[in-house]
Chains A and B, each alone.
Chain A
Amino acid sequence: MNGSPLARIGSGWLLVLPFLALVVALFLGPIVDILRLSVTDPEPGLGNYAALMTSDSLARILWTTLRVCAITTLFSVAFGYSIAYAMVHGVRRDRNWMLSLVLVSFWISVLVRTFSWLMLLGRKGLVNEALAGIGIISQPIEFMRNELGVLIGMVHYMIPYAVLPLLASMQTIDTRLVSASRSLGATGSQTFWRVYLPLTRPGLVAASLLVFILSLGFYVTPAILGGGKVLMVAEYISVQILVTLRWGTAAMLAALMLFGVLGLLFVMSRFMKLSTIFGGARA
């Protein structure tokens, strides 16, 4: 090893250097611009951030966003866990068609899925008409155009994102540990709670992080299935940029989201190596 810094960087880095520069210019540049906007528009200072403390409506939008994202994460990961569990422990043929189903729903556009939910669960949708037809209900059940609708749409969209990291994590577990646990006298549920579940923790964390972070940016589903009543941050930012021209507010919220996510990753990194999580996420 000679001491020249260039050699230490290595020729591999030189190859990616132009692309790194491109990423910095095209990605970091605009982000810095947004951060700058959040403290300069409409006037220099921290006024936009101070509004977080004083404005009830901003607080409510953030609360709605966090609530919807947290519930979405909870249900997506719970469903995703069961699906991944069934896939890992099923026979190979079942696993293949289950994986195809997950992937097919993964690939269907969010708009198509959103409108499908309206057709299925809307006021005059298949389910309500069927239930009314056989006389179980007299009034249609309000599945859609409210927070429940947003949650249904978002959980459905997010399940594949939960399944894939969990699947990868479960596949690496040595099944002999389960046998060992049983042979030492643990019951089935004891084995699951005390041996299996802790082993899948990196996968659980990865799935939860992925789902939660992606949920934060949801736009189409809340806008359509929420019927205008579920206002989340992404939609609010877009309104502030395009309609009301409060670019400072929009930039402040964008910065808040960005640092929120980074902060979340930082907290997680205190508890576990992030590389294992995202290494585990390679499905």
Chain B
Amino acid sequence: MNDKGFMRETLAEGAVAFKEGRMDRRTFLILCGMAGVATQAVLTGDAEAAANEIVMWNWGGQAEQCHGEAIGAPFKAETGMDLKFDTSGPLQGKIKEMVDSGKVTADVCDADLFDAVALGASGHLEAIDYGVVSKDRTIDRYALEYGTSIILYGYAFVYDTKAFGDNPPTGWADFFDTKKFPGKRSLYKWANGSLEAALIADGVAKDALYPLDMDRSLAKIKSIKDDSIYWGSASEAHSMVVNGEVAMCMVWQNRGRGIEKDTDGRYKLVMNEAIAMPGAYIVPKGNPAGREAVMKFIATAQSVPAQLTLLSCLGMTPSNPEAFAQIPADLQPYAITSAQNIDKIVYNDPVWWGEKGGDAVNAFLDAIS
């Protein structure tokens, strides 16, 4: 539906006509109603005022406050535009549905970089304008045509110090070794990270992971299936650990600190061989605020202060290399790109996941169910 653009133009025309007295108030209000635009926004300026904001589509919870503080406030100071939120979680299917329906209500999605690969190829995204957004302010391989990595999160694991305190596990090989480290494990249910961890445990070199050897990976996953359960959301993983259901649990590293705190240090995070995932900002095609405004927003998110606030507020690791050296000492153990961790990590390949992710998820579900 291209009605939206048409409606917005009609409305802008209408606003001008109304101001000049060529159109009566009632007709103008009906027009606004038809276009589904808040009349207040229109009356305070012109129809463009309705678009004088950026709508960020994120995952809710703490993120709302943190994104507002880290990016919204400096962005407002710089451009005068407000930051609003849709907290329903921009899963690939939802973005595709929104763009296909023609009613695009979000400007920027807090998504994964592999989403940028999958949805960019199918024509659902605006390309990133690297005249405004800086390629140097993210990790080399994570500045892609349809998305740029703003933060990193990663797959690491926590273990029960009461069970393995004397001889703690140090990497994925130990995680998959149920003889040496008996007890239940929990892995991520949607394949991502789990597949890589299995291959590393099976002896594949960190820089030779992609393209993933699915058969080999799934065989390794199945080898500990009887001792495994699987989580679908961060809070589920958190509760599995806190309730003592598992001896080791794959977690998103930004949750590690919270878990250590909630278990009074009984569970400890292992960052060695953590799999770094590029969290990316992507822009649905035909976003309401326009491409120019949202690119400025993404550029603001790349700035060092914004990056460091996202770290302290959400535990998301900066992807801007300028920020790496400024990671505070108390957060360094939990950050992926801190000096003490950066050489131990493995980089996810968003291109492989964008292209093969769907098949991989289904094969993984088939293997674990």
A residues near B, CB below 8 A? 56-57, 60-61, 64, 118-119, 122-124, 145, 223-224, 227-231, 236, 239, 241-247
How many residue-residue contacts, CB under 8 A, span A and B? Answer: 70
Within 8 A of A (CB), among B331-369: 357-359, 361-362, 365-366, 368-369
A118 touching B243 by the CB < 8 A rule?
Answer: yes
A sample of 18 more A-B contacts (CB under 8 A), given A118-B239, A228-B230, A229-B230, is A57-B365, A61-B369, A119-B243, A123-B184, A145-B245, A228-B369, A229-B225, A229-B368, A242-B91, A243-B91, A243-B92, A243-B190, A244-B359, A245-B92, A245-B93, A245-B96, A245-B118, A245-B358
- Does residue B181 face the partner (Cβ distance < 8 Å to A)? no
Which residue of chain B lies nearest to A224 when distances are taken between CB atoms in the complex?
A: B236
Contact residues of B with A, CB < 8 Å? 91-94, 96, 118, 184, 189-190, 225, 229-232, 236, 239, 243-245, 357-359, 361-362, 365-366, 368-369
Complex Cα gap A118–B246 (Å): 13
Instruction: Give the residue name and chain of the A residue nearest to B96 (CB).
Output: A245
User: How far apart are the CA atoms of A118 and B231 in the complex, in Å?
Assistant: 14
Closest Cβ of chain B to A121, distance in Å, is 11
With A124-B243, A145-B229 as contacts: A242 and B92 at CB distance below 8 Å: yes
Question: Which residues on B sit within 8 Å (CB–CB) of A244?
Answer: 357-359, 361-362
A124 near B244: Cβ-Cβ < 8 Å: yes
- The answer to whether A227 and B229 have CB atoms under 8 Å apart is yes
Whether the pair B232, A223 counts as a contact (CB closer than 8 A) is: yes
Given A123-B184, A236-B365, A244-B361: A228 and B245 within 8 A (CB)? no
CB<8 Å pairs between A and B, sample of 26: A57-B365, A60-B366, A64-B369, A118-B239, A122-B243, A124-B245, A227-B229, A227-B230, A228-B232, A228-B368, A228-B369, A229-B225, A229-B229, A229-B368, A236-B365, A239-B361, A239-B362, A242-B93, A243-B91, A243-B92, A243-B93, A244-B357, A244-B358, A245-B96, A245-B358, A246-B358
In the assembled complex, the CB of B320 is this many whole angstroms from the nearest CB of chain A, namely: 28
- Pick the 9 closest A-B CB pairs, nearest first: A228-B230, A227-B229, A244-B358, A231-B369, A242-B93, A57-B366, A124-B244, A242-B91, A228-B189
In the complex, A177→B369 CA distance in Å? 50
Contacts of B239 in A (CB 8 A): 118
Residues of B near A57 (CB, < 8 A) are 362, 365-366
Nearest residue, chain A, Cβ from B361: A244
Residue with the greatest number of chain B CB neighbours at <10 A, chosen from A56, A145, A224, A243:
A243
Q: How far is the CB of A272 from chain B (nearest CB, A)?
A: 37
Residues on B with beta carbons closer than 8 Å to the beta carbon of A236: 365
Measured CB to CB, the nearest residue on chain B to A61 is: B369
CB distance from B185 to the nearest CB of A (A): 11
B91, B243, B365, B368 pick with most chain A CB within 10 angstroms? B365
Alpha-carbon distance A228/B188, docked complex (angstroms): 9
A60–B229 touching, CB < 8 Å: no
Closest to A57 in B: B366
Alpha-carbon distance between A247 and B91 when the two chains are bound, in angstroms = 14
Q: Which residues of B are found within 8 Å of A246, using beta-carbon distances?
A: 358, 362
| Complex interface: chain B residues within 8 A of A56 (CB) | 366
By the criterion CB–CB under 8 Å, are A228 and B229 in contact?
yes
Q: Which residues of B contact A61 (CB under 8 A)?
A: 369
Q: How far is the CA of A250 from the CA of B118 in the complex (A)?
A: 18
Instruction: Report chain B residues within 8 Å CB of A224.
Output: 236
Q: Report chain A residues within 8 Å CB of B229.
A: 145, 227-229
Cβ–Cβ < 8 Å partners of B118 in chain A: 245
- CB closest chain-B residue, reference A232: B369
User: Chain A nearest CB: distance from B272 CB in Å?
Assistant: 25
Cβ–Cβ contact B94 & A242, under 8 A: yes
- Tell me, in angstroms, the Cα distance from A249 to B361 when the chains sit together: 14
* CA of A84 to CA of B358, assembled, Å: 47
**Residues of chain A lying within 8 A (CB to CB) of residue B189:** 228
Shortest C-beta distance, A110 to chain B (Å), equals: 15
Q: Which chain A positions have C-beta within 8 A of B92?
A: 242-243, 245
A224 to B230, CA, bound (A): 9
Query: Chain A residues with Cβ under 8 A from B369's Cβ?
Result: 60-61, 64, 228-231
**Which A-chain residue is minimally distant from B122 (CB atoms)?**
A245
Query: How far, in whole Å, are A206 and B189 apart by their CA atoms in the complex?
Result: 37
- Nearest B residue to A244 via CB reads B358
Tell me the smallest distance from the CB of A178 to a CB of chain B, in Å. Answer: 48
Residue pair A239, B245 in contact (C-beta under 8 Å): no
CB < 8 Å neighbour of A228 from B96, B231, B243, B357: B231
Whole-angstrom distance between the Cβ of A276 and the nearest chain B Cβ: 39
Residues in B with CB closer than 8 Å to A118 are 239, 243
Taking CB atoms, residues of chain A closer than 8 Å to B96 are: 245
List chain A residues, Cβ under 8 A from B368. 228-229
Taking each of B94, B225, B243, which has the highest tally of chain A beta carbons within 10 Å of its own beta carbon?
B243
Measured between C-beta atoms, what is the minimum distance from B52 to chain A in Å?
31
Given contacts A242-B94, A243-B190, whether A231 and B365 have CB atoms under 8 Å apart is yes
The answer to whether B93 touches A241, judged by C-beta atoms less than 8 angstroms apart, is yes
Residue of A nearest to B191 (CB): A243
Most chain B Cβ neighbours within 10 Å, of A123, A242, A245, A247: A245
- What B residues does A231 contact at CB under 8 A? 365, 369
Question: Min CB distance, A152 to chain B, in Å?
Answer: 16
By beta carbon, the residue of chain B nearest A231 is B369
A229 to B224, CA, bound (A): 13
